[in-house]
Chains A and B, each alone.
Chain A
Amino acid sequence: MLEMLMNPRKVEREPWEMFFVGLFYAAISILLVNWIFAKDLVLSKYSSILIVTFTVMFSIPFMYYIIKLEEVKNIREKSNFSLIKEHGRALSALIYLFLGFVVAFAFFYIAMPNQTPINFKAQIEQYCAINSVNLDNCVKNNGIVTGNLVKTTTGYASSGAHFFSILTNNVFVMIFVLVFSLAFGAGAIFILAWNASVIGAAIGIFTNATLNKIHIGLVRYMVHGIPEIAAYFVAALAGGILSVAIIKHEFGKPEFSKVLQDSITMLLLAILILIIAAFIEVFVTPKFFG
């Protein structure tokens, strides 16, 4: 019942409402996982992934409806401009959903300090793997006891190298999102919810777990985060509408080539947005936040 508290059709008219849906689903997932699995000696070890799993499960009906609506639009709309405008509403709904996730995850990272090493274990490990030269120290400083992590970052010789490294990494994520959404219409939401949880943890770490600095952390990560995530969502929609078209056995029909054309346009757009996001991340954000 919680997955349908808000009608997806209504959300398309008022995309900002998805922010509260994201906030609510991420919060409910954290509370459910903490309440139900806390006493389970095995599953409690995996809370950080279970939180993402449940957030995804709650969000899947929305993803389905949105992708289905978008696929219908693809066939109905004539001009590319109006099509992009139409997809834009779904896109902003998904970005609001993502923002809701990020704020909820950041809030619970800060508000439940005793649970943080359990609730955000995988996210802290991922954050440290991306951002820290000394991985072991980084995870230990954030309360994680672990023994099997491998260092992946070695530092960058120049901003240009950093830019290309970020861009390559993000293009890989985009490819995963595309493959996931092709394999399973709404599947990309897993990667997006996972990224939201990592950013939530990163905000918690950046603000030293101080609640009244959460807005600074949000700005720090959202300046490049919003275009980056928008690119992933564009790729998810491209894969999603193609997946729905295949399910509906439109393969070979004129409708299918229209969907395919639209998906390729959307992918090119996603790559362009990713380049802009990587530029902001490497050259703009550090000027303001170090």
Chain B
Amino acid sequence: MFEMLVSPREAEKKPERLFFVGLLYATLSLLIVNLIFLKNPTFSSHAGILLITFSVLFALPFMYFLLRVSEFKEVVYGKNRTLFKEHSKAILALLFLFLGFVVAFTFFNLILPPENVGKIFNSQIEEFCRVNMPSQLNECLEQYNISPIGITGNVVSIQNEVSSVFINNLYVLLFVLIFSLAFGAGAIFILAWNASVIGTAIGLIVKTSLANAGVLVAYIIHGIPEITAYFVAALAGGIISIAIIRKDWGRGKSKNIFIDFVSLMIIALIILLIAAFLEVYISPAFYQS
């Protein structure tokens, strides 16, 4: 019932509505985890992942619909069209969904008592500490009442070159592509996971001190193009996946679909490169401020 509160057809016409959909689904997922799973000792230690699981389950119908519409456009309007303009609504809709997730997760990180944040966002805090404080991982985890079992420190070398940042992000992009190829809407998992980590990071940073707001700007500057690149890749993989399901692949339409796939992937790589450049050369100025 909740997965259909907003019609996917309407959302494609008005992509900004997906922001509220993301907000609602992330909130519902948090309520489900908080009310049902947190009391179970087995599930409570996996609360952070369950939060993503339910956000993904709610968002799947939207993802399907957007991919089906995009693939339909490939087949019907395959020629004489502006590629990015045609898909821009779908990409924008996904970005709004993502932003809705981020805002909801940030909000709950800020308003929930610290002990609940440590329980519900346990895996996100682990990821935050692993990325931002690799040399003081255990101290970072203990600060949020998380047991350091299973994670070792010094796992991430500080990346300060465009190439290493780009290669690291390229792996994520490939996973997004593989997921969306294997399962049309599958990439939504990686995107929801990233949204929850970013939401948690923003919450933790703002809670520590508002003076850290510069870090947020730094995140946003390279984060938005980076996420856009992942969405473009997800759309590319999803279009192929849906084309195979609908048996459009191999009916003389393969060429159009494949050209679009390759074009979208090239666009994704260019955006990813720009994001890496911003992360290395622009964002540090805000970290320092």
Contacts and interface: CB of A to CB of B under 8 A. Distances in A.
A278 B22 CA distance: 41
* B interface, over-half SS: helix
Contacts, number: 112
Contact of A185 (B3, B49, B123, B189): B3
B135 interface: no
A53 B49 contact: yes
Contacts of A246: 1
A51 to B, nearest CB: 11
A183 interface: yes
A190 B127 CA distance: 25
Interface stretch (A141-149, A212-220, A225-233): A141-149
A57 B63 CA distance: 12
B36 A176 contact: yes
A139 to B, nearest CB: 10
B77 interface: no
B50 A49 contact: yes
A46 B49 contact: yes
Interface in A69-128: 122, 125-126
Nearest to B60: A60
Query: How many A residues are at the interface, by size bracket?
Result: 35 or more
Nearest to A28: B182
B60 A57 contact: yes
A157 interface: no
9 contacts: A42-B130, A46-B123, A48-B46, A50-B49, A53-B189, A125-B42, A129-B41, A184-B2, A187-B57
Interface of B: 1-4, 28, 32, 36, 41-43, 45-46, 48-50, 52-54, 56-58, 60-61, 64, 123, 126-127, 130, 147, 149-152, 155, 175, 178, 181-186, 189, 193, 240-242, 244-245
Given A148-B41, A182-B1, A185-B1, 17 more contacts: A1-B181, A41-B130, A42-B126, A42-B127, A43-B123, A46-B49, A49-B53, A54-B189, A57-B57, A57-B183, A57-B186, A64-B61, A126-B42, A145-B150, A152-B41, A184-B2, A185-B4
